[in-house]
Amino acid sequence: MYRKSDLNLLQDIFDRKSNDIALLYGSRAVGLDEVVSDLIKDKECLYYRASEVTEATQKELFASELHEQTKSPIVPTDDYEKLILSFINEGSDRKKLLVFDDFQYLIKENPTFVNFLTHLLYEKCRPGSAMYLLVSDDIRFVETDMIRLIGRKSSEISGVLKLNEYSPIEFSACFPKMPLSQVIAIYSFLGGKSLYYNGLTEDTTLHDLIIEQINKCEDTYYDINMFLPGDIREPALYNTILVHLAAGTGKLNDLHALTGLDRAKLSVYLKYLIENGIVEKAGTAFYRIKDSMTRFYYRFLFPHISSLRITGAGRFYRRFIENDISSFIEGSYHIFCMEHIKWLNANMRLNFRVSSIEEYYDKDNAIDFVITVAGSSVIACACQYTQGHMNYKRYEEVLASVKKNRLNCDNIWLFSADGFDSKLIAKEEVTPGLKLIAGDDQRLH
């Protein structure tokens, strides 16, 4: 599953009457392979997925694939120029598409490869005869290392498209008949990786998905380090950090106390996890696991992997997950609420313009996020997914936090998946700055 707008953008570049280079990157779990597969349909295409090998071996593999796909009478020892031109210039006059998947391996071994591609495309091919599509799932390489390696040649890339994860609102739109509580629960588990949405229906439950994941972990060949980068060193230390982050320990000092790691080294490890998209820094001094399924794995499965092998999926779920899954969802509910406000603002459904929506951190944990109104004050927001109706006490806690932190705040918005108690509802009727948003009100139409 992927956004059709992403495919359309690449198709628009291909339809130009010029020669172009496009860059597509992102996680393969958000539709990278599907976008490429659909783009190359009905086109004269050469697809090559590079491997992490020497330049000489890379050229041999490329020549072999080119011959296999085009049956061109090439010599495997020919240089790249002859190999590529033999595909572009021979055959029909239709525009050709050349896809270089995992292109980071081409550039890492030979940083001048992009120079060669651009020279070939713009100097030796007739206008409108070809398009290169560079594809990579190495987000860190594209966003940090690529520019350093190819320099000014990066300016010759016609279009750059990053496939982002689906937002809660986009996920909800994919399953319009799914109950909102189910949408929130499933998204808190799957997150924004649309690959996991394949096979879902409006009747799919969170329990079904968790049991499926547990069964995968029961497999003898399951890699317990599957959520770590393949080239990572010292996995024991990273696993230790992730277990504590998944349990809710996010402050550097607390992680230092629990892991026994030196603060300086701990900061280096966290920086590496952030660079690889596993951890994110929330606020100024709080860390958390970014990906939902990774967070679930290190919270529920990794600490009890031994029990999993002897209890079976059903018993394991009842023993280690069932009573704690609501609090796990609670940790993601405020993200859903924030996205709800962003959607309302983008679609002009609010009577004011929003400058920013940001998570808020204070020692009392009373406020989950704040909405900054353009040219005005902030709106303090608190969210509750579990524990039934939100009660009046939570409202008082938000008021106290606003006062304690001296926020320029005249409005308080409260979000509750299960609604509110009668005292709070009565308070809303006589308090202009108080707004209550129940779960049923968060379904977008």
Using one digit for the tens of pLDDT, what is the confidence trace for 270-303? Answer: 999 998 889 998 877 789 999 899 999 999 999 9
Which H/E stretch holds residue 288?
strand 286-289
Question: What structural domains does the chain harbor?
Answer: 4-163 (3.40.50.300), 206-327 (1.10.10.10), 329-442 (3.40.1350.10)
| Main-chain dihedrals φ then ψ at residue 405, nearest 5 degrees | -95, 5
> Under a CB-based contact definition with an 8 Å cutoff, are residues 163 and 192 in contact?
no
pLDDT band for position 197 (50/70/90)?
Answer: very high
Tell me the C-alpha distance between 376 and 325, whole Å. 38
Residue given tokens 């980071």 in the structure block: 104
Report the pLDDT value the prediction gives residue 153, as an integer from 0 to 100. Answer: 65
Give the residue among 442, 326, 332, 439 at the shortest CA–CA distance from 387: 326
Question: DSSP of 397-426, one letter per residue?
Answer: HHHHHHHHTT--EEEEEEEETT-B-HHHHH
Q: Where are the beta strands (DSSP E) in 360-408?
A: 369-373, 378-384
> Under a CB-based contact definition with an 8 Å cutoff, are residues 419 and 390 in contact?
yes
Q: What average pLDDT score do residues 401-408 get?
A: 92
> Under a CB-based contact definition with an 8 Å cutoff, are residues 419 and 389 in contact?
yes
* Encoded tokens for 310: 């002897």
> Under a CB-based contact definition with an 8 Å cutoff, are residues 353 and 388 in contact?
no
Which H/E stretch holds residue 265?
helix 263-275
Question: DSSP of 186-197, one letter per residue?
Answer: HHHHHTT-GGGG
Tell me the C-alpha distance between 394 and 396, whole Å. 5
Between strands 96-101 and 44-49, the pairing is parallel
Q: What average pLDDT score do residues 230-255 get?
A: 90
Report the pLDDT value the prediction gives residue 102, as an integer from 0 to 100. Answer: 95
Q: What is the mean pLDDT of the chain?
A: 88
pTM exceeds cut of 0.75? yes
Using one digit for the tens of pLDDT, what is the confidence trace for 150-187? Answer: 766 667 788 899 999 999 889 988 998 898 889 999 99
